[in-house]
């Protein structure tokens, strides 16, 4: 994945940056999983604890937003569905997402329990969004453009984000960190 697309997806959350050309709706989940794998490897290479925390919070928030959307949609569908077979399919979908539906309760009570679960998810989303904003204000979010500028200054070379892979970009970051660390050690005689 080019570092440019990687950075733009982080910045905008727009899936078009995960694809070369036209977005294939059937592959969005796979593309996001591949992105998360690349991001995780990127963070391992650059060894930045603050960015790792940001990434884990971001990933958790994304998963909870999906769960919130699913539960909201299924509450409406279950409430309107009268066919028992279709209800069973909806309940299996809920279970897949870790949402509790107590089949021993009357349908209206079970749906009210789901509404409570959805409200808890909404609260968790608010908390995670606040955590992300706090992390952003501390500079924990990966900003590829700012990082590129710092790297170009340190290495005294131009970096084409559309031509360099995320992995190579991460190794450049690591190399500059090591050079800076060595330089600090040399001047003071210690780290």
> What is the spatial distance between Cα 161 and Cα 164, in angstroms, rounded to a whole number?
5
pLDDT cut 70: percent of the chain above it: 93
pLDDT greater than 70 at residue 107: yes
The per-residue b/e assignment along 67-87, b for 16 or more CB within 10 angstroms, e otherwise, is bbebbeebbeebeebeeeeeb
Is 0.85 topped by the overall pTM? no
Higher pLDDT residue, 20 or 187?
Answer: 20
Q: Give the pLDDT band (50/70/90) at residue 191.
A: very low
Cβ count within 10 A of residue 48: 18
**Domain edges within the chain:** 48-141
> What is the spatial distance between Cα 13 and Cα 22, in angstroms, rounded to a whole number?
16
Q: Tell me the chain's radius of gyration from C-alpha atoms.
A: 22
Interval 27-79: pLDDT, tens = 888 988 889 889 888 888 888 888 888 888 988 998 899 899 989 988 888 88
Nearest Cα to 39, choosing from 20, 22, 21, 57? Answer: 57
């Amino acid at each position: 994945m080019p570092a440019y697309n990687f950075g733009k997806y982080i910045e905008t959350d727009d899936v078009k940056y995960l694809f070369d050309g036209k977005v294939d709706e059937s592959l969005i989940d796979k593309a996001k999983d591949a992105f998360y794998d690349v991001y995780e490897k990127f963070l391992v290479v650059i060894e930045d604890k603050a960015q790792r925390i940001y990434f884990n919070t971001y990933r958790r928030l994304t998963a909870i937003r999906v769960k919130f959307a699913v539960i909201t949609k299924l509450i409406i569908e279950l409430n309107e569905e009268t066919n028992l077979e279709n209800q069973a399919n909806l309940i299996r979908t809920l279970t897949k997402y870790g949402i509790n539906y107590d089949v021993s309760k009357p349908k209206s009570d079970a749906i009210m329990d789901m509404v409570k679960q959805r409200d808890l998810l909404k609260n968790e989303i608010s908390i995670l969004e606040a955590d992300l904003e706090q992390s952003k204000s501390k500079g924990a979010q990966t900003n590829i453009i700012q990082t590129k500028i710092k790297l170009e200054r340190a290495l005294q070379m131009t970096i084409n984000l559309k031509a360099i892979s995320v992995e190579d970009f991460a190794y450049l970051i690591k190399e500059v960190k090591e050079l800076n660390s060595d330089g600090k050690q040399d001047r003071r005689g210690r780290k």
